[in-house]
Amino acid sequence: FLVSDACGCVCATLTYVIALGTAFLVDVYVLLPRMTGAAQHLQAMVYNYVILAMLVAHIRCMCTNPGTARDHLEEDLQAAMRSEYLSQRSAESPDVQRQAGFLKGRKWWCTKCDTYRPRRTHHCSTCRSCVLDMDHHCPWVNNCVGWRNHKYFLLFLLYAWLGCAWSMVALGYALMHPPEPKLWQASEYALE
């Protein structure tokens, strides 16, 4: 379930560039120069696991169908509801239209998708479908956040927050405490 939205594709690509670029900087300039013991190796492994888990959650959120209303009902039931909608819509009495929800209240039929809309379902103009339990359309995952991919979106946010906080602390520590030069590096500087 991939959306071909130009803004969403740019944002999703930018997500990978920023995440992998930051992970590269932290690995090369912070973690690798300080690899002296098992604790530093463990820290590097856990940090890279968090970044990998963030990217996997992003891919799962981006590629999972958020749950569309059209997939929710069988075709026979959909056809019966369509005919009921059309008969109520063409009714001349305002009382019938008010009871059907045309004059005021929740719209139960989406004319853009030509499908029934259950409660908490909204039409997304970017995805061009009605999404069940729609939270929002997120350009960073280039998909709607809905009923089926809400878990992956929350995992993506959690791992992104952990990765950002860890990167910020690691880069701040590296700026405040530069690594000691190795013996062979110190002798080269002394000779110059």
Tell me the catalytic residues.
Answer: 138
Quote the CA–CA distance of 102 and 118 in Å, as a whole number. Answer: 15
User: In the block, which residue shows the tokens 């856990």?
Assistant: 46
CA-CA distance, 70 to 179, in Å (whole number)?
58
DSSP state of 182: P
- As given in the structure block, the two tokens for residue 65 are 């169908």
What pairs with residue 116 in β-bridges? 109
Please measure the distance between the N-terminal and C-terminal CA atoms of the chain and give it in whole angstroms. Answer: 60
Q: How many CB atoms lie within 10 A of CB 187?
A: 10
Taking alpha carbons only, the member of 179, 147, 140 closest to residue 62 is: 140
Residue 138 near residue 127 (C-beta atoms within 8 A): no
Q: Would you say 131 and 144 are in contact if contact means Cβ atoms under 8 Å apart? A: yes
